[in-house]
Amino acid sequence: MRHIISVLMENEPGALSRVVGLFSQRNYNIDSLTVAPTEDQSLSRLTLTTSGDDRRIEQITKHLNKLVDVVKLVDLTEGAHIERELMLIKVKAVGAQRTEVKRATDIFRGQIVDLTNNVFSIQLTGTSDKLDAFIAALGESVVLEVARTGVSGISRGEKVLAL
Amino acid sequence: MDQLSGGEALIRALHDEGVDIIFGYPGGAVLHIYDAIFNQDKVEHILVRHEQAATHAADGYARGTGKPGVVLVTSGPGATNAITGIATAYMDSIPMVVISGQVESRMIGSDGFQETDMVGVSRPVVKHSFMVQNPADIPMVVKKAFHIATTGRPGPVVIDIPKDITDPKIKFDYEYPREIKMRSYAIPDKGHSGQIKKAVDALMTAKRPMIYTGGGVIQGNGSELLAKLVRKLGFPITNTLMGLGAYPASDQQFLGMLGMHGTYEANMAMHYCDVLLAIGVRFDDRVTNSDVTKFCPDATILHVDIDPASISKTVAADVPIVGSVTSVLKEALAQIQSSNQKVDENSLKVWWDQINQWREKDSLHVTHCEDGTIKPQQVIQTVHEITKGDAFVSSDVGQHQMFAAQYYGFDKPRRWINSGGLGTMGFGFPAAMGVQLAFPDAISVCITGEGSFQMNLQELATCMQYQLPIKIICLNNQALGMVKQWQDMQYGGRHSHSTYAESLPDFKKLAESYGHVGIKIGKVSELHSKLTEAFALKDKLVFVDVMVDPEEHVYPMAIKGGAMKDMILSKSERT
Ligand SMILES: Cc1ncc(C[n+]2csc(CCOP(=O)(O)OP(=O)(O)O)c2C)c(N)n1
Ligand SMILES: [Mg+2]
């Protein structure tokens, strides 16, 4: 199963490489990874998606917790949560394609953030599935470039991941 | 408050941390630090002859004393030479602090002379690492490094220090922090009472109980409490290779070592037990015989460990208990004391009858040669006799290591010093130096093979410089014996690159050339007298080259892919 794990860690040099190194060292896979400082400059929040059975996920969270730089973590997929990914996508848009792409963008609630005579640059946020669906809807032949941030997430309700 | 440079502060911080000895080797990036060492006499520096040996010596010191071992090496090749020793300590959870020099801060990343990304290279084999950014950070970094290395599940910590940070011209107000708080580093302490209760209940109702303990009990100083619990319960106990000495080998309740080369009775009792109390162990594949689906099929598994990640890693625990060995054992003993539950004596008696039947197999029986050839096992037995079982015994890796583990019979913790997890040839001799320096009056024996010894023999010079009277007992089978054994058993006897009889040095002369004593033993008739002679030379390093039967194999041996009950017992017998 796919899991989204959010990690609060010390905003120190080397911290990220320890997390990434752990995954390659122990043969765990990372499907996506995103990291940035939080409102507290001394902390970074790293969110990654990975997959595996329960035993494996338990080992992953235990080993992450063992890293000295890791302060706290949560497996968001254990409870109700919100997940978002942002995608910037550059697509071919000439002639009749222009209205078609525009329509698809509207349906997916994306925004065209830049354009030329030949291309649109579109911004889209949502779950990873939604982003996948948008790419599929446009068709591979129009897609010129894709930049995705990887999944970020937060739990629903009053539960917070903080110190 | 003293004004100190980074180099001076480092050495002062080590002293303030209680360090009295460090093992190292100088080079460009650490010259400021070496100058600071020169100008003081609180911290003794031992000059080894190879950085790998510095780490093993510090490791041996740590295993023998329980205190952290400290290493100082230069950047680049000094740092990379230390990696094997760091990895060795990491696999066996040994507290160690390794200080490596680094090129100047402004040069980092430029592929400067002797630059290696030590934090990067060591990352997979350290508990944590630091790169010092400011001279004034040194006291705090040192404090944190020792705290991390020695608490929780211990392990090696690297402190990488760029040369400019130790510049004697840059001084700052030195103060050693009394305590530290790290929000990101919590140490599990007490086990959960409810979980301990569950475990105690399981033990009390067990019909065929078994206790299996490992290096964690030794590292966690839990031996005395363990003995109390085991005696109170009257249950059988086995130790892993790393755990030997945690429970006295000479005690009736001890079934010997378990695992790949464990005794018949220990492995059988493991396989057929119905409740398994596992303490400070990690269900290593050398114990479980790799196919965990066949491991202890009937057992309820109670697993105590300070590292939550060790629990249910390879074998799922029915009752996981995270906590320090001492806290958990104390609480378990208290619970047993205060409850009126009794162990199931009748079932226990039937179980012991069964175990004693297994014991009759005498799986460690040694068949002597009629032609006077020395069996390697006899050497260990004789060393045990002469040292009255009270020596510190370090070993290298191979058949000789297994013979030492099987036949020395350790009655005390921290006496058996070996690289169990990484299996590092070349470990034993430098580790014995660390032990000898920690305990100048004790007998420090290194049981080695002629293969392993050649991986760090340069330390004969260090032993001369510091007058370390180690007794090196080389079980010379003229081959990489353990490799050869596997080739005999699994590769139709094709000895691919495992023999070299024609090119072995004369070890006696080799030892003598460094100013030590060398003794060669070839016949069983002279084994006792010559070994006695060697041990009588109390202030000398003696290298005893014992020519042993090159055809000997280590038995019992687990049958690959089988359960723990599946063993080869001799060249002609299997279970
Ligand atoms: C550094 C290192 N290289 C290779 C091995 C693989 N290995 C394990 S035992 C062994 C043979 C050791 O020979 P020796 O020290 O003579 O001991 P013996 O088995 O003959 O008693 C080898 C090569 C190892 N454990 N460590
Ligand atoms: Mg050999």
Residue-wise pLDDT for B346-355, tens only, equals 999 999 999 9
Q: Which atom of ligand 1 is nearest to the CA of B376?
A: 21
Rounded CA separation A10/A12 (Å): 5
What's the confidence (pLDDT) of residue A75?
Answer: 98
- Ligand 1 neighbours (beta carbon < 6 A): B 396-400, 423-426, 449-452, 475, 477, 479-483
Q: Which two tokens stand for residue B407?
A: 């036949």
What pLDDT was estimated at residue A142?
A: 93
Are B124 and A62 an interchain contact pair (Cβ–Cβ within 8 Å)? no
- Ligand 2 midpoint to CA B86 (Å): 25
Count A/B contacts: CB-CB distance under 8 Å: 36
Contacts of B309 in chain A (CB under 8 A): 59, 62-63, 65-66
Query: Would you give the end-to-end CA distance of chain B in angstroms?
Result: 70
Minimum distance, in Å, between the CA of residue A59 and any CA atom of chain B: 6
Q: Is B182 on the interface with A (CB under 8 A)?
A: yes
Per-residue pLDDT band at B195 (split at 50, 70, 90): very high
Instruction: Report CB contact under 8 Å: B184, A69.
Output: yes
Q: Which residues of A touch B184 (CB under 8 A)?
A: 9-10, 68-71
Instruction: Name which residue sits closest to atom 23 of ligand 1, judged by CA.
Output: B480
Q: Is B185 on the interface with A (CB under 8 A)?
A: yes
What angle, rounded to 10 degrees, do the helices at A97-107 and A128-138 form?
A: 160
Within 10 angstroms of residue A78's Cβ, the number of other Cβ atoms is 13
> What pTM was computed for the model?
0.97
Chain A residues closer than 8 Å to B188 by CB: none
Predicted local confidence at residue B73, as pLDDT: 98
Contact status of A56 with chain B (Cβ, < 8 Å): no
Q: Work out the pLDDT band at B188, boundaries 50, 70, 90.
A: confident
How confident is the model over B24-48, as pLDDT tens digits? 999 999 999 999 999 999 999 999 9
Among B443, B474, B460, smallest CA distance to B544 is for: B474
Q: Is A118 on the interface with B (CB under 8 A)?
A: no
Residues of chain B neighbouring A17 (CB-CB closer than 8 A): 120, 123
Distance CA B321, CA B312 (A): 11
CB contact under 8 A, A14 and B129: yes
Return d(Cα B378, Cα B548) in angstroms, integer.
Answer: 9
Q: Closest Cα to residue B540, out of B443, B448, B454?
A: B443
Q: How much helix, strand and coil, in percent to the nearest 5, is found in chain B? A: 40, 20, 40
ipTM higher than the 0.85 cut = yes
d(CA B259, CA B557): 8
Longest dimension (CA), chain B: 76
Cα of B555 from ligand 2 centre, angstroms? 16
Contact status of B313 with chain A (Cβ, < 8 Å): yes
Whether the CB-CB separation of B236 and B269 falls below 8 Å is answered with yes
pLDDT exceeds 80 at position B189: no
Average pLDDT of the segment spanning B169-175: 97
The alpha carbon torsion through B533, B534, B539, B542 (nearest 10 deg) reads 150
Q: Which of B394, B401, B482, B495 to mutate to test the pocket of ligand 1 (most atoms within 8 A of CB)?
A: B482
**pLDDT given for residue B291 in this prediction:** 85
Rounded to a whole number, what is the distance in Å from the CA of A66 to chain B's nearest CA? 8
Whose CA is closest to B108, among B133, B139, B81, B142?
B133
Round to whole Å and give the CA distance between B490 and B450. 23
The tens place of each residue's pLDDT in chain A, 163 residues long, gives: 899 999 999 999 899 999 999 999 999 999 999 999 999 999 999 999 999 999 999 999 999 999 999 999 999 999 999 999 999 999 999 999 999 999 999 999 999 999 999 999 999 999 999 999 999 999 988 999 999 999 999 999 999 999 8
Mean pLDDT, chain B, integer: 97
Block residue for tokens 């033993």:
B521
DSSP string, B202-257: HHHT-SSEEEEE-HHHHHTT-HHHHHHHHHHHT--EEE-GGGTTSS-TTSTTEEEE
Q: How far is the CA of A19 from the centre of ligand 1 (A)?
A: 34
Question: Which of A21, A59, A68 minimises the CB distance to B313?
Answer: A59
**Is there a contact between B119 and A163 if contact means CB atoms under 8 Å apart?**
no
Cβ neighbours for B165, distance < 8 A, ≥ 6 positions apart: B6, B105, B132, B133, B134, B135, B138
- Are the beta carbons of A59 and B183 separated by less than 8 Å? no
The minimum CA-CA distance between B322 and chain A, rounded to whole Å, is: 12
| Length reported for chain B | 575
Neighbours of B472 (CB within 10 A): 27
pLDDT of res. A55: 93
Q: Does B312 touch chain A (CB under 8 A)?
A: yes
Would you state the pLDDT for residue B341? 87
**Nearest-CB residue to B309 (from A63, A68, A163):** A63
Most A CBs within 10 Å: which of B153, B159, B181, B184, as the mutation test of the A interface?
B184
Q: Report how far ligand 2's centroid is from the alpha carbon of B93 (Å).
A: 27
Contact B71, B85 (CB under 8 A): yes
List pLDDT tens digits, range B112-128: 999 999 999 999 999 99
User: Do the chains contact at B183 and A18, CB–CB below 8 Å?
Assistant: no
Contact A21 B124 (CB under 8 A): yes
If pLDDT is split at 50, 70 and 90, which confidence band does B426 have? very high
Which among B184, B307, B312 has the least Cβ separation from residue A68? B184
Contact assessment for residue B300 and residue B274, using Cβ atoms and an 8 Å cutoff: yes
> How far apart are the C-alpha atoms of B363 and B340, rounded to whole Å?
39
DSSP conformational letter for B91: H
B410 with B558: CB under 8 angstroms? Answer: no
Nearest to B220 by CA among B248, B240, B243: B243
Indicate the helix (H) or strand (E) that contains B120.
helix B118-122
Nearest CA owner, ligand 1 atom 9: B398
Q: What DSSP string describes A92-113?
A: E--TTHHHHHHHHHHHTT-EEE
- Residue entry with tokens 């009792």: B269
Residue B434, classified by CB atoms within 10 Å of its CB into exposed (0-12), middle (13-18) or buried (19+), is buried
Residue A14 with chain B: CB contacts under 8 Å: 119, 129, 131
Of B119, B123, B309, the CB nearest to A62: B309
Q: Say yes or no for a CB contact (<8 Å) between A55 and B316.
A: yes
Residues of B with catalytic function: 51, 113-114, 163, 482
Where do the DSSP E strands lie in A22-80? 32-37, 43-51, 70-75
Question: B137 in contact with A at a CB cutoff of 8 Å?
Answer: no
What interhelical angle do B376-386 and B399-407 show, nearest 10? 50
State which amino acid sits at residue A16: L
Alpha carbon of B446 to ligand 2 centroid (Å): 14
